[in-house]
Chains A and B, each alone.
Chain A
Amino acid sequence: MTDDLTRLTAAQLSAGLRAGEYSSADVTRAHLDRIEQTDTALGSFITVTPEQALSTATDVDRRRAAGEELHPYAGVPVSVKDVVVTDGVRTTAASKILEDWVPPYDATISSRIKAAGLPVLGKTNMDEFAMGSTTEHSAFGPTRNPWDTTTVPGGSSGGAAASAAAFQAPLAVGTDTGGSVRQPAAFTGTVGVKPTYGSISRYGIIAMASSLDQVGPMGRTVADAAALHQLLAGHDPKDSTSLTDAVPDFLAAVEAGARDGSLTGKRLGVVNQLSGDGYDAGVQAAFTAALDLARDAGAEIVEVDLPSLSYALDAYYLIMPSEVSSNLARYDGMRFGLRVEPESGPVTAETVMAATRAAGFGAEVKRRILLGTYALSAGYYDAYYGSAQKVRTLVQRDFAAAFEKADVLVTPTAPTTALPFGTEDDADPMALYLGDAATIPANLAGIPGMSLPAGLAGGMPVGLQLLAPAREDARLYEVGARLEALVTNANGAPVWAGVPTEYAAPAASTTTSA
């Protein structure tokens, strides 16, 4: 019984709960059990919150029994990336510097999740302060990819992706600054969406790079990602960059996409700069196969150019660290979080700050802070930060031109499938960053993107990325739903259904309970 409940999609759970087939407490307990059984091996969660989750679940059950009007997804559990601030529940951003921080407030999306009655199973693992694409850079140990526990789940939302892929949670909240939702979705055979910048409030999301960060819904299906997006989106007066537009009906877009013929006449733009060289043959094959399915279903495949793309990565690695260097200045051991005194010399506010930041931040975080400090410093600002902001304009212009020719753009989400642990260790940092080349431009331009499974390569999932113009997130859901159905039909089952469900335990545990 419990196993069955964890295998259901959020849409199925929503329907089952409303039909009274099972209670939210049943569903929540099933997922908590699954976490209990599998998370020692996977390390998806930094903090599991069984008491809060069950209390929400029983409250929803009680209210449903009393005939109250509830959110359609009330009672469907969700995991939340540990970069989302949760009142009274430890929030770490996977950093030692916030190891024991219990916030006194809720992120706007935490309040929305509470108001909708979704039990929060716990806080998922990630790269420290969302910096990384493997979830190896976590102060709480790595997350393992449920498809192959010797490989990374991607990152930075690796815990979120693994939790959805491994049936620990039907829905997962991630964040995406340069691909941190889409790339782990690709590596784990799940669906991850980076909405239009401003679609979902950033209030209470621990900032990495303010002008690039966006909360992203994740799930095993396009419909589930749409449902979570619908729930999280909407104007927030506490976020100055929050869009004021009415939230489009994403679930209606999914329904429209599910109809036969919905791809007829749709122009899918293949980006010349994001295919071929540098992409694994298996990835390229799965991507091409998915495009063939789309063509057979009536889509028109066109080629588009994004000539500034080669500069986008460079611009990203100037803008992101610059904003990081300033956003992370507040972690100084004065008001909250870790405080470390220097081992020698005078104990002053200045030396304590320096010792705290030295001890509390990991190597990648320090590297980005210093890079950003350099890029913003007097004498370099115009050449670096100033130029990068201009490249941003060029990238936006490229996309505007491309969307004249195509309704959505399609690319492989990442050049490879999930890589083994430790691949990064001795590599040139810039070469590693190249893995994000396909996902970063959407963050620079503010446009929405989605990764959904295109198939498998060498037994590992391959992600296909869809990009749409700003505010046209619904297009992703419509086209994504159709592509998902085509891939499922061709494979005889959803890609996510092929994931192994039992995992060998690693040497050490990475999970704690709150």
Chain B
Amino acid sequence: MKFTEAVATYDPALGIEVHVELGTATKMFDDAPNTFGGGANENTTPTSLGLPGSLPVVNGTAVEYAIRIGLALGCEIAESCRFARKNYFYPDLAKNFQTSQADEPIAFDGQIDIELEDGTIVPVEIERAHMEEDAGKNTHVGGAAGRIHGADHSLVDYNRAGVPLVEIVTRPITGVGERAPEVAAAYVRTLRDIFRAIGVSEARMEQGNVRADINVSLREGTDAPLGTRTETKNVNSFRSIDAAVRYEISRQADILAAGGEVLQETRHFHEADGSTSAGRVKSDADDYRYFPEPDLVPVAPSREWVEEIRANLPELPAARRRRLLGEWGISELEMRDIINAGLLDPVEATVAAGAGPDAARKWWMGEIARVAKQKEAEPAELVSPEHVAQLQGLIDEGKLNDKLARKVLAGVLDGRGAPAEVMEADGLQIVEDTGALEAAVDEAIAQNPDVVEKIKGGKMQAIGALMGPIMKATRGQADAGKARELILARING
């Protein structure tokens, strides 16, 4: 069934579980380095390998990060919570149990607002955010292209085993209808921005720092009970999340329309064609035998600690956007453009360094972005906000005009120093010697009598025709406003 038809017939409900790898120096329960890359099995200790006799000790910074996340999502922070063991056998799970939090998450009952492209705000309720550890990585060898089925054997690297994770689980998101795909993607994007803003993770989707499992179900109408859901695992880009939700809604609608039943199962997402395929059927056999982890003691964050973390929490993306909109007086659309370009930080820093918001935005979104694209570099790596502010300052002081400023900027972007230095070195400063300017004006008037006649006849836009020769004569360093004053004074005088 086509998506549009599916959402016209059925009401979709979403449930999203996001795992974020925390950017701590060490793992969740041992002091092995928590770093991406490096040689296989080089970042392990007896604990992350689950060797006999090894024991876990909780990383205090990971707890702090989990609390930051909980607070950023408007959650309550537990007075006391315990880790539990989730028991199941899998080769990448070193101990054959995952140390997680079961019915005692560190954070619960939150809510965040997410903003869609057109500015629509959708509130999403957070059920819980809990701490756990990542598993190792399997590479399947000998079969078809890394898929599990058909592989002869697998190779396991435990560098990722024990990396600290926080899992964030939403309550069912209902009533979003045809916007479900967009909502799912925007929700994960919002979380990604929050993780970065509060400094708990680099949150690089492409490295698997943020991974989403997307639950989708359909029901007959908004009053009907929720339908049977599928869980599409490890959808790791915003585009894929949108596609996976879209695909599942259409697929499930087909089944329901044909009088069938949706199977409760996990599904795999395929990047290539945006489809999902059946994974494991959930059954009563899923018995994880959770029990409190006897090798760890309860984590009981004092209220003082929680309040200290709250007080030091950086401004969240939504609040910052609202504040800057007010301060800068720009449109929502302009703001979204800046955010989507990833330039909010440098623009804000440039304003803080003294430039006007419009000018700061213009430089970063215009010339700097253009050159950065040419150089295949990040804009913020090419020039500092302080230099951009200085450049604008030179314009505001009348030392540069737009054209000269671009030349100065080119030098700055080439790494030739601060704007003032480049201007000085290249002699690009606007000419303030009125004698030279007057001579150029006189010369232009003498050479273009017809233009002078037009101006005398009231055609003021003809002044432009004199500006070219004047600029040429002064090598572009003439102040255009001053030249215009002189022309009118000569002609009318």
**Interface segment out of the listed A148-156, A324-332, A419-427, A430-438:** A324-332
Say yes or no: A373-B54 contact (C-beta < 8 A), given A240-B297, A241-B295, A332-B89.
no
Tell me whether B96 and A329 are in contact (CB under 8 A).
yes
Majority secondary structure of chain A interface residues (helix, strand, loop or mixed): loop
Q: Are B97 and A98 in contact (CB under 8 A)?
A: no
Contact, CB under 8 Å: B52 / A105: no
Within 8 A of B (CB), among A330-362: 330-332, 334-336, 349-350, 353
Q: Which residues of B contact A101 (CB under 8 A)?
A: 52
> In whole Å, how far is A82's beta carbon from the nearest beta carbon of chain B?
11
Determine the main DSSP class of B at the interface with A.
loop
Assess whether B110 is interfacial by the CB under 8 Å rule: no
Tell me whether B49 and A335 are in contact (CB under 8 A).
yes
* Segment at the B interface, from A54-62, A202-210, A457-465: A202-210
Are the C-beta atoms of B289 and A330 separated by less than 8 Å? no
CB-CB under 8 A from B51, the residues of chain A are 85, 103-105, 330, 335-336
**B24: chain A residues within 8 A (beta carbon):** none
Is there contact, CB below 8 Å, between A329 and B53? no
Interface segment, one of A159-167, A264-272, A275-283, A376-384? A376-384
Tell me, in angstroms, the Cα distance from A338 to B56 when the chains sit together: 24
Measured CB to CB, the nearest residue on chain A to B29 is: A240
Mark contacts of A34-49 with chain B using CB atoms, 8 A cut-off: 1 yes-contact digit, 0 otherwise. Answer: 0000000000000000
> Could you mark each residue 290-311 of chain B with 1 if its beta carbon is under 8 Å from any beta carbon of chain A, else 0?
1100111100000000000000
Partner of B294, one of A211, A376, A378: A211
Known A-B contacts A326-B87, A332-B89, A335-B94; A85 and B49 likewise in contact (beta carbons under 8 Å): no
Chain A residues near B156: list those with CB within 8 A. 334
Report yes or no: A240 in contact with B96, Cβ–Cβ below 8 A: no
Q: Which of B52, B55, B291 contacts A330 (CB 8 A)?
A: B52
Contact of B87 among A91, A204, A329 (CB under 8 A): A329
Residue of A85, A238, A241, A349 near B297 (CB, 8 A) is: A241
The answer to the question of A139 belonging to the interface, with a C-beta cut-off of 8 Å to chain B, is: no
Q: Please give, as numbers and ranges, the residues of chain B lying within 8 Å of A204 by CB-CB distance.
A: 46, 53-54
In the complex the two chains form, is A329's CB within 8 Å of B89's CB? yes
Given A323-B294, A376-B289, A378-B287; A103-B87 close (CB under 8 Å):
no
Contacts of A206 in B (CB 8 A): 52-53
- Interface 1/0 per residue, B46-71 and A, CB below 8 Å: 10011111111110000000000000
A205 touches B53 (CB 8 A): yes
| A85 with B52: CB separation less than 8 A | yes
B53 proximity list for chain A (CB < 8 A): 84-85, 91, 103, 107, 203-207
Among the interface residues B94, B96, B297, which one has the most CB atoms of the partner chain A within 10 A?
B96
A260 interface hit (Cβ, 8 Å): no
A105 lies within 8 A of B46 (CB) = yes
Chain A proximity of B59: nearest CB distance (Å) = 12
Residues of B with C-beta under 8 A to A84: 53
- B95 CB-CB contact with A under 8 Å: yes
Q: Name the residue among B91, B156, B287, B297 with the largest chain A CB count within 10 angstroms.
A: B91
Closest Cβ of chain B: how far from A23's Cβ, in Å? 33
- Say yes or no: is B128 at the interface (Cβ < 8 Å to chain A): no
Whether B399 sits at the interface, judged by CB under 8 Å, is no
CB neighbours (8 Å) of B154 from chain A are 349
Instruction: Say yes or no for B267: interface residue by CB 8 A criterion.
Output: no
Q: Are A240 and B291 in contact (CB under 8 A)?
A: no
A91 to B87, CA, bound (A): 25
Q: Inside 8 A of A326's CB, which chain B residues have their CB?
A: 85, 87, 97, 289, 291
Chain A residues with CB under 8 Å of B52's CB are: 85, 91, 93, 98, 101, 103, 206-207, 330-331, 336
Q: Are A240 and B287 in contact (CB under 8 A)?
A: no
Contacts A210-B295, A326-B97 given; indicate if A240 touches B58 (C-beta within 8 A). Answer: yes
A-contacting residues, B145-176, CB 8 Å: 154, 156, 158
Scan A92-110; emit 1 where CB is below 8 A from any B CB, else 0: 0100001001011101000
- 22 A-B residue pairs with Cβ-Cβ distance under 8 Å, sorted by A, are A85-B52, A85-B53, A103-B46, A103-B51, A104-B46, A204-B53, A209-B294, A210-B295, A239-B57, A240-B296, A323-B294, A329-B87, A329-B97, A330-B94, A332-B96, A335-B49, A335-B50, A335-B51, A335-B158, A349-B154, A373-B289, A381-B291
* 4 closest residue pairs by CB, A with B: A329-B96, A376-B289, A210-B294, A211-B294
Known pairs A98-B52, A376-B291, A377-B289. 4 more at Cβ < 8 A? A238-B55, A240-B55, A326-B85, A332-B89
